[in-house]
Every structure is written in structure tokens, then in C-alpha cells.
Amino acid sequence: MVKLTLRSLSFPSMMTTLDQTKELFRRADAVCFDVDSTVIKEEGIDELAKFCGVGDAVREMTRKAMGGSVTFKKALTDRLSTIRCSREQVNKLITDHPPQLTPGIRELVDRLHELNIKVFLVSGGFRCIVEHVASQLNIPLQHVYANRLKFYFNGEYAGFDESQPTAESGGKGKVISMLKEQYGFKTVVMIGDGATDLEACPPASAFIGFGGNVVRPQVKERCSWFVTSFGELLKELEKI
């Protein structure tokens, strides 16, 4: 399997200019958001690891994965094998430490909905956590694409559903291609903080890098529009 490195991926060096990216955002049919460190402040898998007592080890694995130095599926498999969370632990995490929304995301999603721009959450994180986030933002659950944890009958960890497109390197791009085919979207914009988000353009029409929670230099250097607050995107929509 080819390693997910930014150098090895064939991104166009100038995907779009800043003005082109802004225009594509304003006339988007759909906007796809990454979730961890974008829509929410934290990395869900790191929070789960911390809750299960293996936070430091898994945080380092996540850092390497987001920097693009290992394949996504390997990083996910290794991290989950270290955490080995039970169903009870996952449910308790969501109850006791619900994910924290990034400031401005609620207003941005509301405005996109007002403009009849469809909003999707496309995450390499866990569906059980991402669905909780979607509900807070009034995003339909059928607009959520994320990984599914599997548990034995007794609630112990049994792995994850490897058939989900988001379990693979390049998975977010596969989801966007699927959305274009299913809904007939012409213009889809991807917004996120990590290498797997940048990798989704193309097939995404444009990519907007988000650094409001963490700035990943490899991503910032490769995108034409990099923002550190959702207010910047909301301001752009005011021009419509």
C-alpha cells in the first residue's frame, strides 16, 4: 500500500487561485466538512484514547497520520488496537465529555442551509461521535460519512468496518465522487485541517484549509485559501 504522503499525492500545485476558490465556495451546491479539529475543537480518537488511559501513545500516532507519513487505514488500525474501547466507554465519553463545537460553525452551517447549500460531514472519525455533532448542527444523519466501530455482544471492541470509504486513504475523495453522482452536484467544496482533506480535491471542486484549532504546515502551504476562523467564510457568504 502506498504511503499517504503529501509529496506522493498528485495534487495540482495551483488547484485554484484565491479568487477562484472564493467564487466556487459562494456558488457551491454542497460543502463537505471534516469533523475532528475542524467542526469540533478536538480529535475524537485522541479524546477516546485519553478517556481509556492511552492518550499519549495515540496522540503521537494521530499527529503522524494527519501529517501524512503513514497510510490512513494503518494509522486507524494501530490506534484502535491500542485503545480497544468498549461500547460502554464510547457511550460514556459522549455523555461525560461531548465534543466541543468550534466557534462559528453553527452560524456558518445555518447560513449554508439558508442558501440551500447542502452540508455534509465527511470524517475519518467515528460515526457514533459524528452523529452527535450532526444533530447539534441540524445536519441530516444521511449526510454523515464516517467510520463505524464494531463490538462483540458483550460490548468489547471487535474492530471497525473496513468497508467504509472513510476507512481508506483517499476515502474522502471517494465520498465526494459518490455525492456528485448521487445528487448531481456540480460544485462541491471540501473544508478541513488535514492531509486527507486536501487529498479530496479533486474530485472536490475546491479545498479550503482550516487552521482555527491546529495549523498543519503541509496543508497550509498547499492550499490557495487558508482560514483560521469560520467567520471568514461567513463573511464571504455575505457577498451572495
Which of the residues are catalytic? 34, 36
Helix 105-114 / helix 230-237 crossing angle, nearest 10 deg: 20
Burial string for 43-66 (b: 16+ CB within 10 Å, else e) reads bbbbbbbbbbebeeebbebbeebb
Dist. CA 134–CA 116, nearest whole Å: 17
Task: Give 3-state DSSP helix, strand, coil % of the chain, rounded to 5.
Answer: 50, 15, 35
Phi, psi (5° rounding) for residue 18? -60, -45
Burial string for 119-139 (b: 16+ CB within 10 Å, else e) reads bbbbbbbbbbbbbbbbebbeb
Q: Which cell goes with 210?
A: 482550516
Residue found by looking up cell 448542527 in the block? 137
